[in-house]
Structure 1
Amino acid sequence: MNTEIHVLDHRPHLLEPSHYYRMRLTPGAHSARHVRRIVRAYLTAWGMAPAAEVAELGVTELLANVVKHVPDTVCTIMLRRRAGGVRVEVHDADPALPTRREAGALDEDGRGLELLDLLTDAWDAERTGPASKVVWFDLNA
């Protein structure tokens, strides 16, 4: 089992460094912890520290979906600073859009999209090509 984060591409400079962060990776068992630290660091630097906890939870849920549902588990995480908030995106090479399901009281999974619905200001999933998609959420700061 892959237990380390494998950064395939790290380009915080693509747009304007102070407004954008991009990292392509193959998430493993401990990747979420590292990604949460990155998310918190950027949101704190952007003056949005109060939104960091929700952003960390949201990106963790999206990474868990990549690990569980995307065959090669490669994804790209983007943080986009926006007027009044941040958009967190997770891109992957699986065209299947996530579907909400109702989790039972004893179910161990199935609550991620419900959490996004409850905690974020907006979220959605869109196909970005014939074999790819993005799942994103917005937080107003």
Structure 2
Amino acid sequence: MTSLRTPAKATAAGRPTYSQTLPCEPSAAQLGRELIREVLGVWCLDCLADRATLITTELIANASGHTLCSKVRLVLGRPSPTLLRIGVVDRDPSHLPALNQANADDESGRGLLLVDAVADRWGYELKGPGKDPWGKEVWAELRTEDA
């Protein structure tokens, strides 16, 4: 795999955001976790790193396991001073996320249950024109006021 590593840069004005395109494969989760930790350090939100990296891992795993996309976009933003939003954008609007109840012996199927347990809120948004979306963003939010 070629290196996609670039220094994290956050803007000081407006609503800070950071995004990076990653290969749509399970191994991209490690790079995603590194990027999340770096950006949270810049934003002085290190205390959210464990939950944010778990969310990132699960969202990337879901995209790589349930879509045929070759790339995803990891997006980390501050939509307000009290929220951190983590999103993974893919180009497959036909596979929408849903909470499933995995059986005790299932080896997968718990990713969104974990996201639901650690995030304050999560969901998805279709991207593109109303009846003809080109993709979706699955996102989760963490409150920062206790950070």
TM range (shorter): 0.7 to 0.9
Displacement of 1:6 after TM fit?
Answer: 6.1
Is the 1:89–1:136 Cα contact (8 Å) retained in structure 2? yes
Higher strand share: 1
AA of the residue aligned to 2:104: A
Displacement of 1:59 after TM fit?
Answer: 0.6
Is 2:126 the counterpart of 1:90? no
Distance 1:21 1:74, change over 3 A: same
Displacement of 1:48 after TM fit?
Answer: 0.9
CA distance in structure 2 between the partners assigned to 1:5 and 1:27 by the alignment: 13
Identity rate, percent: 33
Q: 1:26 aligns with which of 15, 20, 23?
A: 23
1:58-137 alignment, distance < 5 Å: 58-81=55-78, 82-95=80-93, 96-129=95-128, 130-137=133-140
- Match for residue 50 of structure 2? 53
Name the Cα RMSD after superposition: 2.2
Is 2:9 the counterpart of 1:39? no
Is the 1:121–1:140 Cα contact (8 Å) retained in structure 2? yes
Q: How high is the TM-score relative to the length of structure 2?
A: 0.82
Unmatched 5+ residue regions in structure 1? none
Unmatched 5+ residue regions in structure 2? none
Displacement of 1:47 after TM fit?
Answer: 1.3
CA distance in structure 2 between the partners assigned to 1:52 and 1:29 by the alignment: 19
- Structure number with the bigger relative contact order (C-alpha 8 A, sep ≥ 6) is 2
AA of the residue aligned to 2:112: L
Q: How high is the TM-score relative to the length of structure 1?
A: 0.85
Is the 1:40–1:52 Cα contact (8 Å) retained in structure 2? yes
Displacement of 1:5 after TM fit?
Answer: 6.1
- Matched residue SS, 1:37: helix
Distance 1:90 1:6, change over 3 A: farther
CA distance in structure 2 between the partners assigned to 1:5 and 1:57 by the alignment: 24
How many residues align? The count is 135
CA distance in structure 1 between the partners assigned to 2:3 and 2:109 by the alignment: 26
